[in-house]
Amino acid sequence: MKQIFAPWRMTYISQEDGARPGCPFCDLPAQGACEDTLILWKGPAAFVILNRYPYVSGHLLIVPNRHVDDPVALPPDEWAAALAVVPHAVAALREVYRPHGFNIGMNVGRAAGAGIDGHIHVHVVPRWGGDTNFVPVLSDTRVIPEALEVTYRRLLPSFERLDQER
């Protein structure tokens, strides 16, 4: 007889997957990649989302799918998969925004300025000479010349190509 309902299995899967209800980086991917969630791309180990509170237009986050609050807790292969998206994010931002440089990095823990400190993520921030200096980037001062939906629509085509390249 074929077993079609196995609640123990569901519990097992959600524990293994580690998704934490109430965490935006766990909840949003379940709603799909769209303008509402601001998710530009979803991969097997990581996804790319626009920062809802960007320092500058085009501020992206690369987020491992696994809910961990410590870089040490993410398995190396999942790190590799997440970081493999960095060059694509840089290329997409270059194509659309022609920035002069980038800040790429992480704030780990509340003390380091992490807005969502329960689920690690990598910031990719395009920079222009004279946009703002690095002090406002680390504080709450923001310059947002473009609506998030506009940014989303401008960047989406290059992330759709990411799936075709794989």
Residue 49 to residue 152: CA distance in whole angstroms: 9
Q: Which residues are catalytic?
A: 121
Q: Which residue type sits at 38?
A: L
Residue 78: strand, helix, or coil: helix
Residue 97: strand, helix, or coil: helix
Residue 113: φ, ψ to 5°: 95, 15
Least Cβ distance, residue 63 to Zn ion (angstroms): 8
Applying CB under 5 A, which of residues 59, 88, 119, 127 lies at the interface with Zn ion? 119
20 or 142, CB closer to Zn ion? 20
Q: Which residue type sits at 139?
A: S
Q: Which residue type sits at 149?
A: E
Residues 23-42 that bind Zn ion (CB under 5 A): 23, 25-26
Least Cβ distance, residue 58 to Zn ion (angstroms): 23
Residues 71-110 that bind Zn ion (CB under 5 A): none
25 or 152, CB closer to Zn ion? 25
Applying CB under 5 A, which of residues 67, 88, 121, 123 lies at the interface with Zn ion? 67
Least Cβ distance, residue 9 to Zn ion (angstroms): 22
Adjacency order of strands within the sheet including 101-105: 39-42, 46-50, 60-64, 122-127, 101-105
- Residues lying near Zn ion in the complex (CB under 5 A) are found at 20, 23, 25-26, 67, 119
